[in-house]
């Protein structure tokens, strides 16, 4: 799908977590392919913002860029940053599973209370569209990070019920691991490969995967598709963790060390219960909101190139039973292309 450039051109766009992996690629795409009026980086890391200001394409678009130091925990600062903003992309989060398990209150403050603050600030500032990024770990969560993101998802979906007569819509995008992103399995395995031994938590483990640019493009597509309250999920491939290790270091020993706290063998993005209110389109799924003010039949007919269809009872979207798996060579190609 090619997004109507009028969705972006001439608009003011704020990205929370704008100096992170996703935020940088998203803003880069905006600057290179569209003509936004303003792009606001909202993040708490002054060093990352400084580094962005000195590299392309940000360096060549300084008249378009704005740089806001701030935390999503600070509603007043968010409201100030969103003045005259049309679109908000909420990508800020604490996302390291073990750290969230050990520091639960900090994860709650950023991922849950931060979500509430973004919603309140967007409504107060008169923002037009808001998309929040989620994670496969929010489906049937077993760790605190996943639980906080599930709560965040619910907050953004329900925000559509509390916006009154304002012309503002909220939606959520959920996808799997971004191959090669900061803190992902790829840089970790590369470091361990130097020692000749790669630790594998469980040789049966699988994960969903998406490239950074695919994630950015899907969010842009959803900006045009959204009616308000949807949870969008792209159809993406899975990989076996052992195959990632083989792609990175085929000669290294693979040592099984056991699952870490809060980890699953396989990730889910749609549970059996979710499937009862999920629409399948050719390239993505949509979990419908519990309360919606629009016609579902019309949504299924007009939201994609081909009509959607309700998922059958018992359907699951699981990385272990996914029909699309990457092999070692495909994984290696994706890793090389992401460098």
Cis peptide bond upstream of 57, omega within 30: yes
The verdict on residue 182 lying in a domain is no
Q: What is the tally of structural domains in the chain?
A: 1
> Is residue 196 included in any domain, yes or no?
no
The overall average pLDDT reported for the chain is 94
User: What's residue 174's pLDDT?
Assistant: 98
Q: What percentage of residues in the chain have a pLDDT greater than 70?
A: 98
Residue-level pLDDT at 180:
64
The string of pLDDT tens digits covering residues 29-78 is: 999 999 999 999 999 999 999 999 999 999 999 999 999 999 999 999 99
Q: Give me the pLDDT at residue 101, please.
A: 92
254 CB burial (10 A radius; 0-12, 13-18, 19+): middle
- Residue 98 covered by a domain: yes
Is 248 a member of any domain? no
DSSP class of residue 209 equals E
CA distance 116 to 113: 5
Q: What is the pLDDT of residues 305-332, one digit of tens each?
A: 899 999 998 999 999 999 999 999 999 9
- The beta strands (E) that lie in 150-219 are given as 169-173, 177-178, 197-200, 206-210
End-to-end Cα distance, the chain: 26
Question: pLDDT tens digit string along 185-237?
Answer: 888 899 998 999 999 999 999 999 999 999 999 999 999 999 999 999 999 99
Catalytic residues: 137
Q: Say what the pTM is.
A: 0.94
Whichever domain contains 302, its CATH number is: 3.40.50.720
Quick check: is 187 in a domain? no
Judge whether 324 lies within some domain: no
Range of the domain at 60: 5-175+211-236+270-317
pLDDT tens digits for 174-188? 998 887 666 678 888
Asked if residue 228 belongs to a domain, the reply is yes
Residue 183 lies in a domain: no
């Amino acid at each position: 799908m090619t997004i109507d450039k009028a969705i972006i051109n001439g608009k003011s766009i704020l990205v929370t977590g704008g100096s992170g992996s996703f935020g940088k690629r998203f803003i880069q795409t905006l600057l290179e392919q569209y003509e936004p009026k303003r792009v606001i980086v909202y993040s708490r890391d002054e060093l990352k913002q400084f580094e962005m200001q000195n590299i392309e394409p940000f360096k060549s678009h300084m008249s378009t860029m704005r740089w806001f130091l701030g935390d999503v925990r600070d509603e007043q600062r968010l409201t100030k940053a969103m003045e005259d903003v049309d679109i908000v992309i909420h990508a800020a989060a604490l996302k390291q599973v073990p750290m969230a398990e050990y520091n639960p209150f900090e994860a709650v403050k950023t991922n849950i209370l931060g979500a509430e603050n973004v919603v309140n600030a967007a409504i107060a500032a008169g923002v037009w569209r808001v998309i929040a990024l989620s994670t496969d770990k929010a489906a049937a969560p077993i760790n605190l990070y996943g639980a906080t993101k599930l709560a965040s998802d619910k907050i953004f979906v329900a925000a559509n019920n509390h916006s009154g007569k304002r012309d503002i819509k909220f939606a959520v995008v959920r996808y799997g691991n971004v191959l090669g992103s900061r803190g992902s399995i790829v840089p970790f395995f590369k470091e361990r490969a130097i020692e000749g031994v790669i630790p594998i938590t469980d040789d049966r483990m699988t994960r969903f995967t998406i490239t950074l640019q695919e994630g950015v493009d899907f969010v842009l597509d959803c900006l045009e598709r959204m009616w308000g309250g949807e949870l969008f999920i792209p159809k993406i491939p899975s990989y076996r963790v052992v195959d990632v290790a083989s792609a990175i270091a085929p000669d290294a020993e693979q040592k099984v060390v056991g699952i870490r706290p809060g980890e699953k063998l396989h990730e889910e993005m749609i549970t059996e219960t979710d499937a009862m209110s999920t629409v399948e389109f050719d390239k993505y799924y949509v979990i419908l909101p519990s309360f919606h003010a629009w016609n579902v039949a019309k949504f299924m007919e007009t939201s994609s190139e081909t009509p959607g269809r309700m998922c059958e009872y018992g359907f699951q979207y699981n990385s272990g039973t996914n029909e699309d798996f990457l092999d070692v060579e495909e994984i290696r190609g994706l890793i090389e292309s992401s460098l």
